[in-house]
Structure 1
Amino acid sequence: MTAAPPPGKAPLPTLDDFPLKSFDTIRFGDTDRQGHVNNAVFSSYLETGRSQMLIGPGHRAAPDGFSFVIVRLVLDYRAEITWPGTVEIGSRVSNLGRSSVGIVQGLFQDGACVATADTVLVLFDPVSRRAAELPPDSRAFLSRYM
């Protein structure tokens, strides 16, 4: 049973709140001296979810020659993750800007939300080394995860 959020705080998400669901295997090497997953590894799990959204079998959200780079990541740790097992990753697009994509994610173990994250990615032009405008195809592809 999930505890009720403190007054004034939004309830934690559930995996069903996300249109894209993926998972990652928790490796023994992910753990630290306290016996739980090291906090830096949470970012790797989030990357797994973002990667499946942006680059997957038969699709690529960025146009050829371009990529997405992280310009902001806010990660809230909600509970520890323990080994062995899997972590489920929920991902959704929260907004589309001129050149940016906002992604909201949740990490879950055994049905409980263990972390939430807000990430902003920018479409990166490697030639100009600057942000590039999201083309209509990328915008349409990403909007299906809203």
Structure 2
Amino acid sequence: MHTMRQAIRWGDMDVLGHVNNTIYFRYMETGRIAFLEDLNGKFDAKGQGPVIVTAYCTFIKQLKYPGEIEVRTYAGAPGRSSFEVTHEISLVDGDGKAETVYAHGGGKVVWIDFQAEKSVALPERIRSQLPAVEA
């Protein structure tokens, strides 16, 4: 699991006064990239790295400005060139706790050769840090 916190920005809200639904995908993206950079370091667009091929989100409660959120990112077991990630987005309360989930979602990450635009096997340095495949 990877955890990160960030502020809800005033510009994240829409005309209805809550965080716009598209911004939740940005929150998950920020968490996913931080998680992947912790695993791999910075990426070079001339080499190999991750792309996301599916994304989904379930909205449970409205987030509003001002506030701080916590994004928890979990990785699934690896396939040949891909693995699933899931995210929980929680509001940080006045005590600094982030127990109530406001949204959850995820997606599928595929490792590709950026120049060839084709999937490649997950590098061992990434695979070794993901949960084991269940039998």
TM-score by length of structure 1 reads 0.77
Q: CA deviation at 1:127?
A: 2.5
C-alpha contact (below 8 Å) 2:28/2:106 kept by paired residues: no
Deviates more, 1:132-141 or 1:60-69: 60-69
CA RMSD of aligned residues (A): 2.2
1:141 maps to which residue?
129
C-alpha contact (below 8 Å) 2:47/2:115 kept by paired residues: no
Q: CA deviation at 1:95?
A: 2.2
Of 21, 25, 45, which residue of structure 1 is paired with 2:7?
A: 25
Please give the per-residue CA displacement for 1:70-115, whole angstroms capped at 9, x wherever unaligned: 1111211111101101110011112211000210110001331111
Q: CA deviation at 1:59?
A: 4.2
- Show structure 2 runs of 5+ residues with no match: 94-98
Of 84, 99, 104, which residue of structure 2 is paired with 1:116?
A: 104
Q: CA deviation at 1:61?
A: 8.3
C-alpha contact (below 8 Å) 2:40/2:126 kept by paired residues: no
Identity of aligned residues (%): 28
C-alpha contact (below 8 Å) 1:62/1:138 kept by paired residues: no
Q: CA deviation at 1:28?
A: 0.3
SS of the residue corresponding to residue 76 of structure 2 reads strand
- Show structure 1 runs of 5+ residues with no match: 1-18
Of 24, 32, 41, which residue of structure 2 is paired with 1:60?
A: 41
1:7 maps to which residue?
none
